[in-house]
Amino acid sequence: MMPASFAPLDYLSVDSSLTDVERDIRDAVRVFVRDRILPYVGEWFEQARLPVEIVRELGKLGILGMHLDGYGCAGTSATAYGLACLELEAGDSGIRSLVSVQGSLAMFAIHRWGSEEQKLEWLPRMAAGEAVGCFGLTEPDSGSDPGAMRTSARRDGPDWILRGRKMWITNGSIAEVAVVWARTDEGVRGFLVPKGTNGFRAQDIRKKLSLRASITSELILDDVRLPASAMLPGATSLRGPLACLNEARYGIVWGAAGAARACLEAALDYSTTRVQFGKPIASFQIQQQKLAAMALEVNRATVLAVHLGRLKDAGRLRPEQVSMGKLGNVNAALDVARAARQMLGANGISLEYPVIRHLANLESVVTYEGTADVHTLVIGGALTGIDAFR
Ligand code: TGC
Ligand code: FAD
């Protein structure tokens, strides 16, 4: 039987493959983005700020760490979490980033590698949006190669002393707790550094022209003394932080599809109403070709995200598959955003429309959580068995 109606933004009827619960969660996040993000985000982006109250609202919505079990987290499926990421990033990549860093990096690190005391202390407050977390892996001299990190932790009696710098850290200056990765005599270990600890400060990075509705900071650790209980007991090597990255990259697979959908929607709206040479520009073949190519990318990205979501829910998703999703969907979103920007003519560079904001944001998304080159080499390594990083 033919479906009752045809939805241009869901060309392949991906909706029909979702469960009722998944659709309900998706719809709730979509409404939140429509009411609480879209009317304001252009201004936040222009002013390079993020109202911190939004974190509590996201907590109330139940999406902070929603895919984790217990400790105040909702315990939803990975697919439902992905749908939330898609809707958030259709609003703005910065909002999805906030949620990714909170749930998939900071909370996930504590949930996966933390002690029972650490989980009880932080996770319920983080799920409620009462405490923000950040995740410090990148440093001024080590980005793609986190194994070269210099930040160190040494034992001093029962305590640890941390020294070093972390760079480009999302949520850094608003975080109540920073998950900081450091080299020790026993390998790379993770530490929970509460805001206000002596010797620890966060300084915002200014002059960003991308992800402006998101806080990005440098973390400075000058001989920060921490008790033994601050160390995450379960993470004993670089595998600790890298396992967290899979989670956040998975969210980006979905989020990128959302940014792309928002750009397609803007291009469809604009091209069917903008009249040149006596006709809506959508009536010219060259513009229809662009719209068709954009719709193809948006739908392909969404189908890929749903497929990876189902694999993750079945416990079968592999890191190299996440790499393919992140690489493919972010590149697709960039292509869609660039085409949409041109279709909007001069309005394509104005923050009155969402497209240039998405395009600028995606330049961060293609770099963080593993650059396009890094994911290309992960895929190449999986195909050939040859490591081309060194
Ligand atoms: P390599 O020798 O390959 O691995 C070291 C150990 O880690 C294990 N491993 C992984 N485990 C789980 N998931 C993964 N994806 C893993 N990748 C590697 C590996 O099995 C090994 O374990 P073990 O037990 O044998 O020791 O490490 P390498 O130094 O050669 O590096 C590999 C490479 C380049 C892929 C990795 O370093 C990498 O992914 N680099 C990119 C760094 C990156 O993505 N940083 C992101 C920082 S966080 C961020 O950007 C947040 S943005 C905000 C937002 O998300 O919105
Ligand atoms: P580099 O690693 O110096 O790379 C420079 C160029 O060299 C890139 O094109 C790269 O692809 C290429 N390259 C590097 N190695 C190779 C190789 N082996 N082969 C071929 N090409 C190579 N980090 C965190 O830890 N936490 C956060 O919350 C966080 N948030 C971020 C928010 C924003 C807005 C941004 C922009 C970044 C954020 N990052 C965060 C940092 C991000 O993860 C890094 O920027 C990223 O991993 C790349 O590192 P880099 O910038 O040092 O680039």
Enter the tokens of residue 185: 């005599």
- Which regions of 100-227 does DSSP assign to beta strands (E)? 133-136, 152-156, 159-170, 177-184, 187-194, 200-204, 216-226
338 burial type by CB count under 10 A (0-12 exposed, 13-18 middle, 19+ buried): middle
Q: What pLDDT band is residue 5 in, cutting at 50, 70 and 90?
A: confident
Q: Is the minimum distance from the CB of 378 to ligand 1 under 6 angstroms?
A: yes
The dihedral through the CA atoms of 360, 366, 371, 377 has a sign that is negative
pLDDT, residue 2, reads 61
190 φ/ψ angles, rounded to the nearest 5 degrees: -105, 145
Which residues make Cβ contacts (< 8 Å) with residue 131, sequence separation at least 6?
A: 122, 125, 176, 177
C-alpha distances (whole Å) from 303 to each of 78, 136, 208 are 15, 32, 32
369 is catalytic: yes
Q: What pLDDT band is residue 4 in, cutting at 50, 70 and 90?
A: low
Instruction: Give the closest residue to 212 by CA, choosing from 360, 369, 56, 337.
Output: 360
Q: Summarize pLDDT for 56-115 with one digit per residue, the tens.
A: 999 999 999 999 999 999 999 999 999 999 999 999 999 999 999 999 999 999 999 999
Ligand 2 centroid to 370 CA: how many Å? 6
Whether the predicted pLDDT of 50 surpasses 90: yes
With a pLDDT cut of 70, the percent of the chain lying above it is: 99
Enter the tokens of residue 320: 């190299």
With a pLDDT cut of 90, the percent of the chain lying above it is: 98
Q: Is the minimum distance from the CB of 149 to ligand 1 under 6 angstroms?
A: no
Q: What is the mean pLDDT of residues 268-278?
A: 98
Ligand 2 centroid to 99 CA: how many Å? 20
Residues in the chain: 390
Average pLDDT, the chain: 97
Instruction: Give the closest residue to 371 by CA, choosing from 389, 355, 349.
Output: 389
Instruction: Compute the distance between CA of residue 223 and CA of residue 71 in angstroms, rounded to an integer.
Output: 32
Whether the predicted pLDDT of 1 surpasses 60: no
Instruction: Compute the distance between CA of residue 51 and CA of residue 236 in angstroms, rounded to an integer.
Output: 36
Whether the predicted pLDDT of 341 surpasses 70: yes
